[in-house]
Amino acid sequence: MGLFSKDIKTMDDLFVHQLKDVYYAEKRILGALEDMVGKASSGELRQAFERHLVQTRNHVARVEQVFQQHGVEPETTKCPAIDGIIDEADDVSGEVEDKRVLDAALIAAAQAVEHYEIARYGTLVAWAKTLGRPDCASILQQTLDEEKATDEALTSLAELHVNATAR
């Protein structure tokens, strides 16, 4: 975007900008999840991250599909929000030695990522409907549902296992 021009003029521009933002975010999350799989010590947590890694590859493909349906070339735009969320996760996990405490920190970091995505996909679904694109809304809704389910699964993991053993 230009530094001195107002490049977002319409709701359509805003929608496409947000799509580029989540495209960047999903790609950064792919790398972060690979890292988290390697750091997790609970087998169940590692499996949860691995499952979400597979889902996330599909989320990238879905964003590309929405770009295509909307007649726009897939492109990323830098997303300081996800950069900050992932940098903070790296900072915190770098400070933790105990494996069980680290698992708790990893779950918290993953839930911050999930909630970022829930916010963004929720917005994208609403805007796609506003723009008269129920086809795009329906694809984005599938990812939104999966992000919510992942967040709930992480809450259950935290409550049932990791936090209890990390007292």
Show the binding pattern over residues 5-44: x = contacts a copy of itself (CB under 8 A), - = does not: -xxxxxx-xx--xx--x-----------------------
CB neighbourhood size of 12 (10 A): 15
Q: Which stretch binds a copy of itself (CB under 8 A): 30-38, 49-57, 60-68, 121-129?
A: 121-129
Q: Give the one residue of 31, 47, 58, 83 binding a copy of itself; rule: CB under 8 A.
A: 83
The DSSP call for residue 160 is I
Residue 31's alpha-carbon distances to 43, 50, 129, in angstroms, are: 20, 12, 31
Residue 114: which of 12, 3, 41, 26 has the closest Cα? 26
Residue in the block written with tokens 């935290």: 158
CB neighbourhood size of 32 (10 A): 22
When asked if residue 142 is in the footprint of a copy of itself (CB under 8 A), the reply is no
When asked if residue 72 is in the footprint of a copy of itself (CB under 8 A), the reply is no
Residues 86-105, interacting with a copy of itself (CB under 8 A): 87-88, 91-92, 94-98, 101, 104-105
Residue 100's alpha-carbon distances to 30, 41, 45, 66, 87, in angstroms, are: 23, 7, 11, 40, 21
Sign for the CA dihedral angle at 97, 101, 102, 105 comes to negative
Q: Which stretch binds a copy of itself (CB under 8 A): 31-39, 44-52, 62-70, 110-118?
A: 110-118
Enumerate binding residues for a copy of itself (CB under 8 A).
1, 6-11, 13-14, 17-18, 21, 79-85, 87-88, 91-92, 94-98, 101, 104-105, 107-108, 111-112, 114-116, 118-120, 122-123, 126-127, 129-132, 155, 158-159, 163-164, 166-167
